[in-house]
Amino acid sequence: MTSSALLPDPAAPADVSGADTRLGLADDLLTLLRTTTTEPRPDEQLDALTLAVSADLPVLLRGEPGIGKTAALTQLAASLGLPLTTVIASVHEPSDFSGLPIVGDDPAAQGVPMAPPQWAVELVRAGRGLLFLDELSTATPAVQAALLRVVLERRVGALRLPPGVRIVAAANPPASAADGWELSPPLANRFVHLNWVHDREVVVRGLGGVWPRAQLPRLAPERLPEAVAFARHAVCGFLAARPTLIHRLPSTEARRGGAWPSPRSWEAALTLLAFGTAAAVSREVLALLVRGAVGDGPGLELLAHLDRMELPDPESLLADPAAAELPVRGDLRQAALDAVVAAVGARPERARWEAGWAVLVRALQTGAPDLLVAPATALAALRRDDWEVPEAVDRLAGVVGLARRADRSVARVAASAGARSAAQVRR
């Protein structure tokens, strides 16, 4: 048998109908594989993404290849009912974002307009949509420079994108990107950076056909003015105390390509704080957003400042100890009790000293006793010789005795309380 006998006879009729049937079955199988559903499920990074999109802030998802950044954006657009426009930044020229010059009849009189690309025109026609700038870390510096006005001012050539268009970008770390570049500092500072990581349960359940549902945050209408006032007070108060963080350009190229503090990024943090407050998002989601806007260090400092803002007023606690509402979190409760002792020390009066002990008793009734050692020791040290020991100390004598460095004043308080207890037992 010759080799030509193995080849199909060109004159023989092709089995077109059979091939079409097999391809049709293959398409049916692919359709079944691609048919998935969604379910409401807590997902902190997805909640952070949807809140930033709701706040109309450009978001940059940074993660390793294949982590699911593109799939997340596709699912987000579908869940929000927004048409998705994907632009691969690395395969475009700077003129695709800044516009192509078109010479008219009389350039000297009318100028040379910058014609926008087709994708921008289609977004304007739709009036809304999700612009996905993919592979941003593989875009050359010239393309990144052309993207500056697109990301911040929403301008593509002479065209302005409508308010209904949201911008999300994705990037791989330069080490794992194809011919990757660090983001330029001006472009990086325009984004809220979210480190995109995979969650085992999300991946396993998603491959089973059920992905988490992206939902816009539910903003409480009655909380909008309060949320804005709180965000402004928090950020302005923090920056007044830490003015060196208003603008701090990182020293290394890698860190300049991420989130860092500037007046622009602090404005983004203020916006995110207002939206997060109005939507009552979790502490974890708010931390992702704030750190993604101004960087890890400044973001964590702002979050600590928020905790201090939420502490109860020590004078209010001293005024009505029986109704004192103390924080549940241990570190915040400790800070509130320390503030009460400091307030008594700033104006030491017998009535205020006794009220301080009543606050500690209230804390003993509603929380762990080990947090009372330090404030009880400090409060006992404020006692004057002519002040009688209040009855409240009876319940705290054991706690006070646990202090590792009790001074003579603490010893007198504990001794007096012990003597009174013994007398009551004898009676």
Burial 375-396 (b: 16+ CB within 10 A, else e): bbbbbbbebeeeeebbebbbeb
DSSP letter, residue 385: T
Look at residues 353, 355, 314, 354 and name the one whose alpha carbon lies nearest to residue 337. 314
The pTM of the full predicted model, rounded to 2 decimals, is 0.75
pLDDT at 6 over 80: no
Rounded average pLDDT over 134-159: 87
Instruction: Over range 121-147, report the average pLDDT.
Output: 90
**Which pLDDT does position 290 carry in this prediction?**
97
d(CA 152, CA 226): 27
Q: How far is CA 366 from CA 44, 334, 371, 376, in A?
A: 31, 13, 11, 16
Angstrom distance (rounded) from CA 10 to CA 264: 69
Rounded mean pLDDT, 275-279: 95
CA 382 to chain centroid: 43
Vertex 116 angle, CA 110 and 119, to 5°: 160
Half-sphere CA count of 379, side-chain side, radius 13 A: 34
39-99+115-212 placed in CATH 3.40.50.300: yes
Q: How many CB atoms lie within 10 A of CB 421?
A: 11
254 has pLDDT over 60: yes
C-alpha 46/C-alpha 58 separation (Å) is: 15
Count how many residues are written for the chain.
Answer: 427
Give the model's pLDDT for residue 73: 87
Provide the pLDDT for residue 169: 93
